[in-house]
Amino acid sequence: MRKIIISAVAKNGVIGLGSVTKPDRKKNGDLPWHISEEFRHFKQTTLGYPIIMGRKSFDALGKPLPKRENIVISRNRGLVYPFNDIKIFNSLNKAFEYCEEKQYEKIFVIGGGQIYAQAINQVDEMIISKLDFDAEGEVFFPAFDEHEWEIVKRDKREQFEIFWYKRK
Ligand SMILES: NC(=O)c1ccc[n+]([C@@H]2O[C@H](COP(=O)([O-])OP(=O)(O)OC[C@H]3O[C@@H](n4cnc5c(N)ncnc54)[C@H](OP(=O)(O)O)[C@@H]3O)[C@@H](O)[C@H]2O)c1
């Protein structure tokens, strides 16, 4: 099973607003930007595959993303959502074990900061959209050593460039 991080990261490393407030926050979830093409790339890449996310990221989305198995990580064992089609696990490893049992070909870790930080040493691949600009926010992508990763593909789009990394 291929474990893949997918993220969009501003030039200064910011991935989310955190407690910074923005007037259009509802529209954008907790993301400090809105780039339709980047959303399209995320959707095309993840469609049909399980997506694993932290509880805060799921709350920012507000509902499950369609046509993907939505898996939420929370320490809150009493957590309940009014959606049938999500799975909740109380650790990232339990979520990975569940996906292994299901024999999924690949799974995507879609954030946020806490979950990326815990997953980055366990994933085999990363697909990172590096945005051309700095963003305001309090949530960051974890630092990683570029020497441990090989860039296997790059694709420059307007306002961002997508990097496909494989662990060396
Ligand atoms: N730019 C991007 O690509 C991107 C992608 C996704 C998200 N984001 C942004 O990232 C931000 C959210 O990131 P975040 O770091 O604040 O939160 P997060 O990683 O989405 O979620 C954190 C929550 O996950 C649960 N959790 C974390 N570690 C756990 C563990 N070891 N065991 C069990 N549960 C665990 C806890 O939930 P409980 O509190 O319920 O226990 C914790 O509060 C948002 O602003 C979002 O928009 C950006």
Expressed in angstroms and rounded, the spacing between residue 18 Cα and the centre of ligand 1 is 10
Q: What is the pLDDT of residue 30?
A: 77
DSSP 132-145: SS----SEEPPP--
Topology of 2-158 in CATH? Dihydrofolate Reductase, subunit A (3.40.430)
3-class secondary structure, 102: coil
CB atoms within 10 A of CB 37: 12
Pocket test for ligand 1, best of 22, 114, 116 (most atoms within 8 A of CB): 114
Taking 70 as the pLDDT cut, the residues of the chain under it are 20-29
Query: Closest Cα to atom 5, ligand 1: which residue?
Result: 111
Q: What is the pLDDT of residue 69?
A: 98
Q: What is the pLDDT of residue 21?
A: 62
Query: Closest Cα to atom 26, ligand 1: which residue?
Result: 74
Largest Cα–Cα distance of the chain, in whole Å?
44
Looking at the DSSP assignment, which residues form a beta bridge with residue 130?
Answer: 9, 161
CB 108 within 8 A of CB 51: yes
Pair of tokens at residue 146: 């570029």
Question: What is the value of pTM for the model shown?
Answer: 0.96
Q: What is the pLDDT of residue 28?
A: 53
- Parse the chain into domains and list their residue ranges: 2-158
